[in-house]
Amino acid sequence: MLLKRCSALAKPYYFRTFSTIRTPDLEVDNVVIGGGVVGLSIADMLTRERPQESTLLIEKNKRLGEETSSRNSEVIHAGIYYPKDSLKTQLCIQGNRLLYDLLEKTNIPYDKIGKWIVAQSPTQHEYLQQLSEKATALGVETYFMNGEKAMELEPELKAHSVLVSPSTGIIDSHAFMDYLEQRIIEQGGNIGLNTRVSGLQATFTGDGRYFLETVDGSSNAQLTVSAKHRVFNAAGLYAHQISNCLMPDKYKLYYARGHYYAYNAPSSIRHLIYPCPEKNLAGLGTHLTLDMAGKVKFGPDVLYIDDPNDYTLPDDLDHKMAFSRAIQTYLPGIKLDKLQPDYAGIR
């Protein structure tokens, strides 16, 4: 049944349109598709701000947040990289401030350790100057540190200069999702795990509701869910397929897989270290991040792929050496034999 917390792994999405709508098996006011951080946050808001309405979150996997939300750097970004007027920039800045406000009131592990963006040449320093000017215009704090001072504070580092982003931090993403899940349940919401959406249709006559066809991952039982008010598409890597149910062939996603390496050697690094960004923001570079236990990890790189389920992690010398060369631009003492494949994420 839809609301059962099942243990079997859900199958991938397979979408179809359906010309006739049978009597729904379940009626709710709101449906959220996708149980990552975005979907959980939306469901939390709905159950908090609209307690008189029923809200159901549907997640195709057997656990919440198994994909992008748990396969990333766990960094709370400041919002300085992307175009000044973009929605991404606006939401990142607002989200940064709102998230810290929340974290100060909870027991979710986090640390505002700051990010150092490292220039290795006068040309890269000029780029960081432009980045700093944009941050100032956006109201985001940054400041410069010369290479000598930076290498005094972080002796393992090689730097011409450093742009410091003090409002960048790290968070335990799993604890954050656990917190949101608990709030949704306490506020009267429902969560359906191991349940994939196989079809979506809107009716714009009468009360104008949405109908979702769902499949239980354990029993393959098909259920029709009626959403009387709203459907939120937070399906992440599969969001285009959800939208294409209503607007056929309108959206297509292109996937980039990033690989992370753990560093199994002692390190004195105490800040997030990012190289100067690549041209046209093809990526933020192979950066150094820390987890809540202080463990160092490096990544991600960028590899374009076709399959959003392909989390293959290369474990060959050529890939490791390429990783090492990227890291050595700012951390020349890196030991190749201490780099170990850790995990991959897809964006």
Judge contact between 144 and 134, C-beta under 8 A.
no
Residue 121: count of CB within 10 angstroms of its CB: 11
Please indicate, yes or no, whether the overall pTM of this predicted structure exceeds 0.85: yes
Q: What is the pLDDT of residues 85-113, one digit of tens each?
A: 999 999 999 999 999 999 999 999 999 99
Is residue 202 within 8 Å of 246, Cβ to Cβ? yes
Structure token pair of residue 31: 């449906």
* DSSP state at residue 69: G
- Asked whether the beta carbons of 92 and 77 are under 8 A apart, the reply is yes
Which strand (E) or helix (H) includes residue 290?
strand 287-290
Q: Which of 292, 289, 259, 285 is nearest to 273 (CA)?
A: 289
What values do phi and psi take at 179, rounded to 5? Answer: -60, -45
Q: CB–CB of 291/269 below 8 Å?
A: no
On whether the CB atoms of residues 250 and 244 are closer than 8 A, the answer is yes
Q: Locate the DSSP E strands across 75-189.
A: 75-76, 110-111, 115-119, 143-146, 161-165, 169-171
Q: For 281, which DSSP code? A: G
Question: What integer pLDDT is reported at residue 277 of this predicted model?
Answer: 81
What are the extents of the domains in the chain?
26-69+174-246, 112-170+255-346
Output the six-digit token pair for 93.
């800045």
Class of domain 26-69+174-246: alpha beta
Residue 102: other Cβ atoms inside 10 A: 13
The CATH code that applies to domain 112-170+255-346 is 3.30.9.10
Q: State yes or no: pLDDT of 119 exceeds 80.
A: yes
Residue type, 279: K
Predicted pLDDT of residue 23 = 86
Q: Is the pLDDT of residue 6 over 60?
A: no
- pLDDT at residue 213 is higher than 70: yes
Two tokens, residue 60: 């195709």
Q: Cα–Cα–Cα angle for 284, 290, 295, nearest 5°?
A: 140
β-sheet with 55-58: strand ranges across: 190-192, 55-58, 26-33, 222-233, 210-216, 195-202
Confidence band, pLDDT 50/70/90 cuts, at residue 284: low
Question: Looking at residues 198-217, what average pLDDT do you find?
Answer: 86
Please tell me the distance from the alpha carbon of residue 201 to that of residue 191, in angstroms, as a whole number. 21
Would you say residue 306 has pLDDT above 80? yes
- Other C-beta atoms lying within 10 Å of the C-beta of residue 136: 12
The answer to whether 213 and 18 have CB atoms below 8 angstroms apart is yes
Give the model's pLDDT for residue 268: 95
Which H, E and C letters describe 101-128, residue by residue?
Answer: HHHCCCCCCEECCCEEEEECCHHHHHHH
DSSP structure class, residue 135: H
